[in-house]
């Protein structure tokens, strides 16, 4: 995993994006990302708990799903809503606080896919709070860990 190159992507203000090349077809990766029941095995931040997930096995536009989370030792559950979906290419969901998580897959060959994950906090009322609390940097590190793990899974 240490050899995996994760690059920073400039997605605009109040967005944290990272990209990695994964040795797998986009359909295989999308099957993992678009299934909220598999998010605990995908998460590299350590915040998604391996607890029962509510919602469909395959996300679609407008779908809602609930995931157990844990930060600072405090467990909680959130319900997110899918706000953008293009089967095999894009899935994005919005948390109750308004920020969004987006996954974009660009298949560059039948066995290679560029994967970009974005934490978008431009959609919340006061995005500067995310920066003051350091969540932009924390989530950037979590994304890097997630993408390294994803690349290793398909290595």
Distance CA 59, CA 65 (A): 8
How far is Cα 57 from Cα 36, in angstroms, rounded to an integer?
7
Can you give the residue ranges of every domain in the chain?
Answer: 7-153
- 9-34: burial string, b at 16+ Cβ within 10 Å, e else: bebeebbbbbbbbbebbbeebbebbb
Under 8 Å between Cβ of 20 and 5: yes
Select from 123, 127, 106, 128 the least CA-distant residue to 115. 106
Q: What is the pLDDT of residue 90?
A: 98
Q: According to the model, what pLDDT value does residue 1 have?
A: 46
Report the C-alpha gap between 47 and 141 in whole angstroms.
12
SS3 31: helix
Chunked into runs of 10 residues, the chain (155 residues) has average pLDDT values of 82 97 97 92 82 91 92 88 98 95 97 98 94 94 95 94
Residue 76's pLDDT is: 85
Report the candidate in 35, 29, 61 with the shortest Cα–Cα distance to residue 48: 35
The reported pLDDT for the residue numbered 103 is 98
Structure tokens at 8: 């920073």
Is pTM beyond 0.75 here?
A: yes
Residue carrying the six token digits 């919005």: 94
Helices (H), 81-134: 128-132
Identify the pLDDT of residue 48: 82
Q: What is the pLDDT of residue 44?
A: 85
Q: Which CATH architecture group holds 7-153?
A: 2-Layer Sandwich (3.30)
Q: In 10 A of CB 71, how many CB atoms?
A: 12
Tokens 């967005």: give the residue. Answer: 15
């Amino acid at each position: 995993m240490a050899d995996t190159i994760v690059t920073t992507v400039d997605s605009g203000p109040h967005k944290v994006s990272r990209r990695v090349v994964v040795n797998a077809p986009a359909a295989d990766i999308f099957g993992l990302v678009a299934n909220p029941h598999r998010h605990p095995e995908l998460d590299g931040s350590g915040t998604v708990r391996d607890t029962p997930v509510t919602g469909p096995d395959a996300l679609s536009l407008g779908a809602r799903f609930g995931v157990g989370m844990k930060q600072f030792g405090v467990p909680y559950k959130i319900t997110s809503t899918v706000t953008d979906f293009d089967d095999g290419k894009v899935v994005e969901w919005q948390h109750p606080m308004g920020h969004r998580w987006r996954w974009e897959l660009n298949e560059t060959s039948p066995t290679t896919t560029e994967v970009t994950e974005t934490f978008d906090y431009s959609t919340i009322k006061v995005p500067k709070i995310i920066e003051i609390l350091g969540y932009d940097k924390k989530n950037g590190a979590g994304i890097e860990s997630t993408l390294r793990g994803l690349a290793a899974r398909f290595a």
